[in-house]
Amino acid sequence: MRWCSVPCLLVCLLASVAAAQAPPSPFTVAIVRDDGILLPVATHDRGRWRMPWPGPQREADVPVRLEDCPLAWWGLPTAPQQWTLHPRDDAPRIVRVERPVVMFSYCRQQVALASRAAARTWWRPADGLRAPKHAIAIAGGTADVVLPREVDPESAEGRALLDAVQRPFNTTERLMLAADYFARYTPSVEAAQRDRMPVRALSIHAGPGRSGEIYFVELQRRYPRVRPEHLLWCDEVTYMAGWVRRAADDRLDLSLVERAVTSCLLDSVLRATPHAVIRTPKGPAWLLELYRPQAEGYAVFAAPVDEHVEMLGYRSIGACEGEPQAPSQRPPATADDVEVP
């Protein structure tokens, strides 16, 4: 039997401690379209999120080979050829990328990656300029990925959530419609009657929060339109997108990335869809797709702990009208701003 000396044991112990305290390896997250195009959108490195991959341009200069892409684009020690694909309807698997390609997106061009192995068998048609996506992909280090669980608004879980969220929706709606906070807008229905009207969900997704599961929701409430005359067929809509979380008093509350008054077309609001939640040493980070009819981008948000939201990074993938803007980081209104029953 071989005995290890005290200095040897000390060296082994220090090596184990150093390995345990070593930061996780950086990894890059890409969005995967149905046609097998991968677009890197964010890199996690030593607790921070960065967006090193080149953004949209009017005319993109596309390298011929993967090896020709500048190393700074990847945010990784080496250029990856293998990616771990995380599709919503299947188990994770390894795919290879073949070459860089030019991707057309919202009147812009940008460098992307082509992978036949990552293509979806049955492609879905594009929704206007917005290409359908079916997965995310990870390259570099290991990432703890959770795909948000879709909840049917008509299910028992969905109906119970909407019933519980009625009160915070009412409070937030009254705050945002206060003339000196949001806009000089008067809805066609009085406040007391609005509070009794149902809240509808466009989508509900469940995923990890700081302490248990939370929900990301797109909510709306519709009112009959009284003007202008040519839009009487289209209701007025109060729209909210964000997380439903449990507050300190154990009731549900909202942490919103968007709140607005719009039309039934929802063409003037920044809509949001979660694609993945990645557990990091600093807590879960939600990757959201943010889009309008003429622009699209991706943002990483920290799982909220109160009414404020913390955006960790934003990346545009194109815009046809002006320059794309990141979601507003204005602080939400509070009960001190307007009287709420």
pLDDT digits (tens, 9 = 90+) for 1-46: 444 454 444 444 434 433 444 567 899 999 999 999 999 999 999 8
Does residue 276 surpass a pLDDT of 90? yes
Q: How many CB atoms lie within 10 A of CB 36?
A: 20
Is pLDDT larger for residue 151 or for residue 126? 151
Which helix (H) or strand (E) segment is 171 a member of? helix 156-176
Residue closest to 286 by CA, chosen among 272, 297, 300: 300
Does residue 54 surpass a pLDDT of 90? yes
Indicate the domain borders of the chain: 27-142, 149-319
Q: What mean pLDDT is predicted for residues 168-181?
A: 81
**CA distances to 22, 44, 141, 266, 341 from 165, in Å:** 42, 33, 38, 21, 16
When the pLDDT of each residue in the chain is averaged and rounded to a whole number, the result is 86
Predicted TM-score (pTM) of the model is 0.86
Q: Which amino acid is present at 221?
A: R
Does residue 337 surpass a pLDDT of 50? no
Work out the angle at residue 53's Cα, subtended by the Cα atoms of residues 51 and 59, and round it to the nearest 5 degrees: 130
Does residue 103 surpass a pLDDT of 60? yes
pLDDT band for position 250 (50/70/90)? confident
pLDDT of residue 89: 86
Show the beta-strand stretches assigned E in 159-246. 200-209, 212-223, 236-246
Does residue 256 surpass a pLDDT of 50? yes
Does the CA dihedral 93-94-98-103 come out positive or negative? positive
pLDDT of residue 328: 54
Q: Are 287 and 86 in contact (CB under 8 A)?
A: no
Q: What mean pLDDT is predicted for residues 152-165?
A: 96
d(CA 162, CA 148): 18
Work out the angle at residue 278's Cα, subtended by the Cα atoms of residues 275 and 281, and round it to the nearest 5 degrees: 160
